[in-house]
Amino acid sequence: MHDPIRAGLAAGWKHIDASTLGKGQTVETDVVIVGSGAGGGVTADILSASGLRVILVEEGPLRSSSDFRMLESEAYPELYQDSAARKTMDKAINILQGRCVGGSTTVNWTSSFRTPPEVFAFWQRRYGLHQLSAEAMSSWFAVMEHKLWVRPWETPPNANNKVLATGAEKLGIPVGAIKRNVKGCWNLGYCGMGCPTNAKQSMLLTTIPAALNRGATLYTRLRAERLRFSGGRISALDCVALRPDGIHPSGKRVQLRARHFVAAAGAIGSPALLLRSGVPDPHRLLGKRTFLHPVIISSAVMPERVDAYAGAPQTLYSDFFLHQAAIDGPLGFKLETPPLHPVLYATTLQGFGAAHAALMREFTRVNVVLALLRDGFHPESQGGQVRLGRDGLPILDYPLGEVIWEAARRALLAMAEIQFAAGARAVTPVHETAPLYSSWAQAKKGIAELPLKPLLCRVVSAHVMGGCGMADAPQRGVADHRGRHFWLGNLSIHDGSLFPTSLGANPQLSIYGLVARNASLLAAELSGRPPPLIP
């Protein structure tokens, strides 16, 4: 299999693995971008295309298709934050985030949705973001869809997705097909471990190679620590090199000086960098309103093999339960079906000993449905707050309150009913005290009485958003609609942390579109070239 990253390196890309640095260094450039995920990748591509000198700073390693061997034992420690075990402060939510070149896009599941129009409408009403609407953004989404091969997925859904479709159809619940950003996908189902065939059009394969081909510099194993500023402008970014283990600082430091700085370290990472730097935050908004689409899980044992590890993940969805109430009413949820792999499933599943082993023996017959709760719209759904731990690294404090649990119960009921309608032999909510229900009637009664509390009911997330929310004024947000920080003139925020609420849709395409727009505006300003033709 051709590995375009290794080929690029051999052809002379400027990649510096900071763990190999013998001594510290100071480097000067036009723009420094922190983070190489969805936001950082798109920014690097667009700025380098307008002739700006760009440095990308990534804390994780550079890995590519030759390294992607579809093994959880390798992928989690190599490619994920905290070996895929990042937790909220009270340990009640497990957060999946990428930490490698390409960020979460290297390990994501390829589902591609535009920002829903009702979300833009809410942002206009509440945050005065009048420049952003479904119409105004549609060309930017179209540009990124074209670039990243976002297309309808024509291959029949795998059995895991089919359970969702069959059950939902029986109950008259509409189901839709999910577009995917893939080109020549082998339908393997291992997207979460890095795509071994280079089919997934992640940042690792698209925008980052484009920027490197234009002479951009990529630092890996380099952690952005602190922005230095005075008089409303940033002068430099101080970084610490990590050892090859990617965890401990090596003792070497790198200072990057530039005209402009872009924070694209992801929600959690970007607010943490700004908090560590002590940037002005008079309204105390930084790090607050961090959203997760908290995910509630329902596991079913089907009569036939499902093999949920095989075949493209997340190809069907239902938004039916997002539209049962006003957007700021009781939390709605989106239904999807994730890929299942032994470590991911075994660690998520409740219980231990013989009961756990018995459920694991059904592994190939298991179907799992997820409900992603749309947080951040209901007045009581304020999300979490990024704080700094003892070592300056971020901790997300996300209290799970009654609005979440009320929605979680509706979601568990909806998923169990769908799974039984699809012919499930048994269904269990992923919850420490939930039994295996053998009929819908039993599940309905049982779930109604289930105690829903942190650490009893499993909650996970792969969609971190917010913490540097956009708004029309500094009283309401950290940055404006262009991602420009309200207080520091040469700081932009270009990642998922900009969203003032969650989305109710998987976030990657929302980030690509918004950042393509904002990076284009920034490129015009910094390079003195005309602004983009798209409004």
| Contact residues: another protein, CB under 8 A | 1, 69-73, 76-77, 81-83, 85-87, 89-92, 186, 188, 190, 196-197, 245, 247-248, 309, 342-343, 345-347, 349, 351-358, 360-361, 363-364, 389-391, 393, 395, 432-433, 454-456
Tell me the closest approach of the beta carbon of residue 181 to ligand SF4, in angstroms.
Answer: 9
Distance of alpha carbon 294 from alpha carbon 458, whole angstroms: 10
CB of 504 closer than 8 Å to CB of 332: yes
User: Which one of ligand FAD, ligand SF4, another protein, none interacts with residue 185, CB within 5 to 8 A by kind?
Assistant: ligand SF4
Shortest Å distance, C-beta 454 to another protein:
7
Q: Please say which residue, 345 or 499, places its beta carbon nearer to another protein.
A: 345
User: 446 vs 477, which CB is nearer to ligand FAD?
Assistant: 477
CB 297 within 8 A of CB 528: no
State the minimum distance, in angstroms, from the CB of residue 456 to another protein.
8
State the DSSP code for 81.
G
Q: Which does 107 bind (CB under 5 to 8 A by kind): ligand FAD, another protein, ligand SF4, none?
A: ligand FAD
Q: Which does 167 bind (CB under 5 to 8 A by kind): ligand FAD, another protein, ligand SF4, none?
A: none
Phi, psi (degrees; rounded to nearest 5) at 256: -115, 125
Find out whether 332 and 318 touch, Cβ atoms under 8 Å.
no
Percentage helix, strand, coil for the chain under 3-state DSSP, each rounded to 5: 30, 25, 45
The 10 Å Cβ neighbour count of residue 66 is 12
Encoded one letter per residue, x for contact with ligand FAD by CB under 6 A and - for no contact, window 15-54 reads: -------------------xxxxxxx--------------
Q: How far is the CB of 195 from ligand FAD (least distance, A)?
A: 12
Are 377 and 122 in contact by the 8 Å Cβ rule? The answer is yes
> What's the min distance (Å) between Cβ of 30 and another protein?
32
CA distance linking residue 309 with residue 331, whole number of Å: 30
Between 248 and 323, name the residue whose CB sits nearer to another protein: 248
Q: 75-111 burial by CB neighbour count: b if 16+ within 10 A, else e?
A: bbbbbbbbebebebeeebbbbbbbbbbbbbbbbbbbb
Q: Which does 128 bind (CB under 5 to 8 A by kind): ligand SF4, ligand FAD, another protein, none?
A: none
Q: Look at residue 466 and give the partner it binds from ligand FAD, ligand SF4, another protein, none, a contact being a CB closer than 5 to 8 Å depending on partner kind.
A: none
Return d(Cα 503, Cα 465) in angstroms, integer.
9
Burial grade of 471 (CB within 10 A; 0-12, 13-18, 19 or more): buried
Stated as kind and residue range, the H or E segment containing 219 is strand 217-220
Query: Cβ contacts of residue 500 below 8 Å, gap of 6+?
Result: 123, 126, 127, 129, 289, 376, 466, 469, 470, 471, 477
Among 160, 350, 506, 520, binds ligand FAD (CB under 6 A): 506
Question: What residue spans of 50-170 are helical by DSSP H?
Answer: 72-79, 104-107, 117-127, 134-147, 159-170
Distance CA 318, CA 522 (A): 37
Footprint of ligand FAD on 201-230 (CB under 6 A): 223-224
Does 356 sit near ligand SF4 (CB under 6 A)?
no
Burial of 10 per CB tally in 10 Å (0-12, 13-18, 19+)? exposed
Can you tell me which of 216, 273, 274, 312 binds ligand FAD, judged by CB under 6 A?
273
Region of 91-99, 163-171, 326-334, 443-451 interacting with ligand FAD (CB under 6 A):
91-99
**The one segment of 28-36, 188-196, 370-378, 407-415 that binds ligand SF4 by CB under 6 A:** 188-196
Closer by beta carbon to another protein, 357 or else 473: 357
Bridge partners (DSSP) of residue 367 are 300
Residue 200 token pair: 């997934």
Q: Which is nearer to another protein, 93 or 427 (CB)?
A: 93
Q: Using CB under 6 A, which residues numbered 99 to 158 contact ligand SF4? A: 110
If one asks whether residue 462 binds ligand FAD (CB under 6 A), the answer comes out as yes
Under rule CB under 6 A, residue 60 binds ligand FAD? yes
462 interacts with ligand SF4 by CB under 6 A: no
How many CB atoms are located within 10 Å of the residue 379 CB? 7
Residue of the chain from 199, 267, 292, 386 that contacts ligand SF4 (CB under 6 A) = 199
Instruction: Give Dmax (Cα) for the chain.
Output: 67
The span of 48-56, 186-194, 218-226, 341-349 binding ligand SF4 (CB under 6 A) equals 186-194
For binding to ligand FAD (CB under 6 A), which residues are involved?
34-40, 57-60, 96-99, 103-105, 107-111, 192, 223-224, 264-267, 269, 273, 314, 462-463, 495-496, 506-509, 511
For binding to ligand SF4 (CB under 6 A), which residues are involved?
110, 182, 185-191, 195, 197, 199-200, 312
